[in-house]
Amino acid sequence: MNDIKKIGIVGTGVIGAGWAARALANGLDVVAWDPAPDAEEALRINIDNAWPALVKMGLFDGADRDRLTFTSDLVTLCRSVDLIQESAPENLELKIKIHKELGELAPKEVLIASSTSGLLPSDFQAESPHPERHLVGHPFNPVYLLPLCEICGGKLTSDENMNRAVEYYRAIGMYPLKLKKEVAGFLSDRLQEALWRENMHVINDGYADTKNMDDAICYGPGLRWAMMGTNEAFLLAGGDGGMRHFFKQFGPTLELPWTKLKAPELTDDLIDKFVEGTDKQRAGRSIKEMERLRDDCLIAIMQALRTYKVGAGQTIDEHDSRRIESAGNFDLVQAEAHLPATPSALYQCNVRPDWVDYNGHMSEAYYVLVFGHATDALYDHAGMGEDYRAQSKCSLYTVESHIRFLHEVNEGALLELDTQVLGVDAKRVHFCHLMKSDGIVLATTELMAVHVNTVSGRSVPMTDTEQVRYRNLMIPDPPAWVGRSIQTVNPEKAS
């Protein structure tokens, strides 16, 4: 993960806490500072509330909430971290003061990023002794789940530091969106602000209440926005004629007085409408309860998009691959080396909410999914992953499998998959996986895979080197259950 291993969090409100939680989940150390008297307690409560969602998404090796340190000394923070993420209130004078102080205290190689929602970095970097390392890294709430991070440099920000920031944010599972030019409000907030102002007008004029307006997004464009933006959506609205036909057909509506971009006067009456409407929508739920519900829904949407590798689904898929790779970064043993004494631990994951069935336990289909990921981890470990398949036009196809379900598996459980190769010849690999949690074997599977040329669809031999890689994962004594089959039910005995 590049050269950034320890993160400084300056300001530990909702956004600062989100940054801390994301960094901890990625196996980094975090040092936090905030002058508020109850800041540390509130920070740890917010991280604890976010942690179940991060567990469901998958933790990096070394992820631990105990790697968080809170300090009352800003000097200590600045001198001990590789990147500082400032999340102070949206006040330009305050930002200028903080960035000047951070710039004076932190070594010149430390990146200093602001979570500001719209203030320009040129305005708050100028008084720092090293303005070239100040920039904006603007996230979206919840920071620990949503991948978008808008990166905006000021007039004095160096290209090198912009690139370092892009690398860091990508390494912690974000989608770094680098702005072409510095602009107030950046990109996403300008779009959100336009929508918010129109939302306020419609409610102020009595056409709808807060729930009506939220429903207008949730049941329509919001679902579409999860995987494509306005431009792509309107491209499709133009049919086969594309965007040009869209403008020809719908362009004239831009002249109609549908919207009012200038915000209405913020009267007490208008504020009351929003407060009363959203209180009714809460239906007695606490903010923390709603945060957890929001997190579960976001995870489900992103996991659904992951299947098709679009939008946020592609980002979390790539990040999860890096997590698995970092957790299973084993050196292949040489042919003459001793065989491993125990099965190889090549994959782990947590049971997600959508994997649980009506009995409250993991559904059968997801056992197959998890075992399938463990099989992919085995192939990757043996050097026969995505690059191999693309170059050789060959792959291993499963031709037979058998699963034993031994214990119930609950939501949130950390599943650890041990893999053992049972046999290998020129065209076949025989192997098994043990699914464990807290040392208890929950399920096992035994598989036979055949090496196939994907163009001809016929089995072909592997090279000697490829066979050796699988043999190096063999253990002399196979488990006693290998080769077991389901016994045929005898109706007479059953009666």
Task: Give the pLDDT confidence of 444-465 residue by residue, as tens digits.
Answer: 999 999 999 999 999 999 999 8
CA 206 to chain centre: 39
Q: What is the pLDDT of residues 359-379, one digit of tens each?
A: 889 999 999 999 999 999 899
Residue type for position 170 = R
β pairing state of 68-70 and 29-33: parallel
List of residues 6+ apart from 38 with CB closer than 8 A: none
Of residues 19 and 380, more confidently modeled: 19
Is 192-284 CATH 3.40.640.10? no
Span 104-108, mean pLDDT? 96
Domain locations along the chain: 6-186, 192-284, 331-471
Residue type for position 361 = H
Would you state the CATH architecture of domain 6-186? 3-Layer(aba) Sandwich (3.40)
Question: Rounded to whole angstroms, how far apart are CA atoms 381 and 51?
Answer: 29
Of residues 133 and 358, more confidently modeled: 133
Highest mean pLDDT among 76-85, 184-193, 408-417: 76-85
User: Nearest-CA neighbor of 344 among 443, 470, 482?
Assistant: 470
CA 273 to chain centre: 35
* Mean model confidence pLDDT for the chain: 89
Span 205-231, mean pLDDT? 89
- Which CATH number is 331-471 given? 3.10.129.10
User: Is the pLDDT score of 341 beyond 60?
Assistant: no
User: Nearest-CA neighbor of 114 among 6, 11, 2, 31?
Assistant: 11
Span 232-249, mean pLDDT? 81
Span 297-316, mean pLDDT? 85
